[in-house]
Structure 1
Amino acid sequence: MIIKAEQLSSAISSLSQSYLLTGDEPLLLMEAQDTVRAAAREQGYTERHVFDVTKQFDFNQVHSDADNLSLFAEKKITELRFDKLPDKAQQEQIKELISRLNEDTLLLVSCPKLDKRQLNSAWVKALNSQGTVVQIWPVAGYQLPQWIKQRAQASGLKLTDAAVSVLVERSEGNLLATKQDIDRLQLLCEQETVDAPQVLDTIADNARYNVFELIDSALSGEVAKTRRMIELIQAEGVVPVILVATVYREARNLLKMSYQLRQGDSMSEVLKQYRVWSNRSRLITGALNRVPFGVWERIVSRCGHLDKLAKGSEVGNVWDELLTCLLLMGGQSIWRRVL
């Protein structure tokens, strides 16, 4: 069957063996992919094999993967992600793959928008005969205010009409950027109802999350908020060198403070010596009480590695490592997972 993106959530209760997601709106396409994956996981599809299909892509690896049963006989999702519409040769390969699908494999194909003629092509019909085609349409300009209101409401926010107008003006049709703005408002606005001045203050250029807010969130042990802030900072294209240097310095200071507490100094003496402002004293005290000296030593060592990643002298994912260091500073017990 062929459905619209907004019908997917209700239709997914009856999981198809194959899905074709077609559209040119990146955010809605990603969310449709997430919806299919989540439904598949609930029904036991625990493996996921992803293939990014380009012009020179070799489909033999997909067929080989389809023929290889999992060592543990687990169900799997096979994803084909096309950056352009499939050419004739690729269409034939998709038809062959569909004909060879076994019951333990779910096929998820994503591609740019297909027009009416292309939707009637043989490969789409082959997929649709045993699956679902999801058409993802962009949000029209007149629909954008209502789309923003619904998104905000789902995030627990109520936007005034003026606030919605500000977001509409900023979006310029970029739904992903608008979603990120709403996410920032959710994290930073304490009031349930948000007006235009709050929107402008929160999302204005050069007035977004700063490193000190990020560190305080981590030291408070707010895992979800810290993770989301990292994601948004990364999405904005922020260069991590200065961010990392500040986190590294904070970790070293906390190590020194922890050492002095270990030597018998009182918390008030340590806070005074390191000139901790009164509005942060409770935060710092909590972090020092949660995290023992030995762990601070390991955190500082890990931050040293992070600093080298940020400066390019070592290879690795600087954002993942930054998140790990921040979570550890907040007292999260994740050493087995990250070491």
Structure 2
Amino acid sequence: MRVYPDQLLRNISPLPQCCLIFGDDPWLCEQSRSALYQVAKKQGFDEKIQLTQETGFSWNELIEQWQAMSLFSSRRIIELTLPTAKPGTEGSAMFQSLMQMDNPDVLLVLTGPKLAAEQTKSKWFKSLDAKGIYVPCITPEGTQFQRWLDGRITHYALNVTRDSREMLFALYEGNLLAADQALQLLQLLSPTAPIEPEHLSQYFEDQSRFSVFQLTDAMLTNQQDKAQHMLSQLKSEGVAMPIILWSLFKELTVLFQLKSAQSQGGSIQSLWSKLRIWDKRKPLYQSALQRLTLEQIETLLSKSSTIELRLKQQGIEDWTGLSHISLLFDARAHKVLEHIALD
């Protein structure tokens, strides 16, 4: 039976004969094992035997452990790691044989990397799955990651604002371990107070001399020398590119909404409060609105999306591309640079 990690606790009482924990996400794998072993301990499984299918491994050792009497407790766990998730012919036969010998005092736990679809259709997998549960530990993406992140924020009882949630999403999508560690840090630093993006910048930018907020402010006001210097400094200090892209997209999206309303002949006065733009920041946007056309802002959004896509899909940090985008905040640069592709 397939059970996802967040459903595990609801499906292991009583414990099944075996549990298969496979996947490439280390945080989910570790959390699943931890939850399983906590429940097992409460049900009297106090001893754990760890085996690994490596060079020289004998499958007879598994059956011997299955049939042996425990020296320390009445019930025990046998954890077998399959580094390639391929037990082979002998291992497949052994699993099928073991599942014909019910032993309520033994819990078999198999761990390993992500299983391919054809592996879940194999005889060895089906024989184990019929007597137990399969926990696929696959890193959630997109809306699934957002749900996971919201769940962990609730778990740590953090007061995180909407903008900060978006920032955390951009920073940590694809890395649950780092995300959870960051939330633990926030619990220590700000257990009750609202957590704003500015706080996240302070916590996670490694005490940079310049912040991403100063960078985007320089872009909005077309202070090119200052913006290029900040980009170079942020790169040298190891600031994560996703946090820069998050801030850039946020400002460009606001700018696009304001310019769209302006282009349609409407007033942007009502948008200031709706977009949560305070008086001291209005001159920054007004400067960009006077300088850039709607089409130029769309170009900035498009090129920013290209950089983000390359980062997420190929792991490429295109700092030259960010420098190029900064220059395009100057309307005059569009005639010279707009045709240059960021690839």
TM-score tier, shorter chain, comes to: 0.5 to 0.7
Please list, as runs of the form range in 1=range in 2, the aligned pairs for 1:1-339 lying within 5 A after superposition: 1-89=1-89, 90-100=91-101, 102-205=103-206
Q: What TM-score results when the alignment is normalised by the length of structure 2? A: 0.55
Q: CA distance change for structure 1 residues 189 and 59 in 2, over 3 Å: closer, same or farther?
A: same
In 2: Cα distance, 1:193 partner to 1:84 partner: 45
Contact 1:66 1:101 in 2 (8 A): no
Query: Residue 103 of structure 2 aligns to a residue in which SS?
Result: coil
Q: After the TM superposition, which segments of 4 or more aligned residues of structure 1 sit over 6 Å from their partners?
A: none
Q: Distance in 2 between matches of 1:3 and 1:42?
A: 21
SS in 1 for 2:118: helix
In the alignment, the residues of structure 2 paired with residue 135 and residue 172 of structure 1 have an alpha-carbon distance, to the nearest angstrom, of: 18
Classify 1:190/1:9 alpha carbon distance in 2 versus 1 (closer, same or farther; 3 Å).
closer
Contact 1:77-1:106 within 8 A present in 2 as well: yes
Q: Percent identity?
A: 28
**Residues in 2 aligned to 1:192 and 1:5: alpha-carbon distance in whole angstroms:** 30
3-state SS in 1 of match to 2:3? strand
Counterpart of 1:31 in structure 2: which amino acid?
Q
User: Residues 46, 117 of structure 1: CA spacing in aligned structure 2 closer, same or farther, 3 A cutoff?
Assistant: same
Partner of 2:313: none
Q: 1:170 to 1:55 in 2, by over 3 A?
A: farther
Displacement of 1:110 in angstroms is 1.4
Q: How many residues align?
A: 207
SS of corresponding position for 1:132:
strand
> Residues of 2 paired with 1:167 and 1:56: CA distance?
45
Query: What is the CA–CA distance in structure 2 between the aligned matches of 1:117 and 1:9, rounded to whole Å?
Result: 27
Q: 1:60 and 1:206, CA in 2 relative to 1: closer, same or farther beyond 3 A?
A: farther
**Matched-pair contact (CA < 8 Å) for 1:24–1:136:** yes
The alpha-carbon deviation at position 171 of structure 1 amounts to 1.5
State the structure with more CA Rg: 2
Note the alpha carbon deviations across 1:79-128, whole angstroms, 9 max, x for none.
11222212423333333343445221111111222233221211111112
Residues 118-142 of structure 1: per-residue CA shift (max 9 Å, x gap): 2121111111222122233321123
Task: In structure 1, list runs of 5 or more residues that go unmatched.
Answer: 208-339
* Two-structure CA RMSD over aligned residues (Å): 2.2
Does the 8 Å contact 1:171/1:177 carry over to 2?
Answer: yes
CA distance in 1, matches of 2:207, 2:51: 37
- 1:196 and 1:9 map into 2 onto residues whose CA distance is 34
| Structure 2 gap ranges (5+) | 209-343
C-alpha displacement of 1:56: 4.2
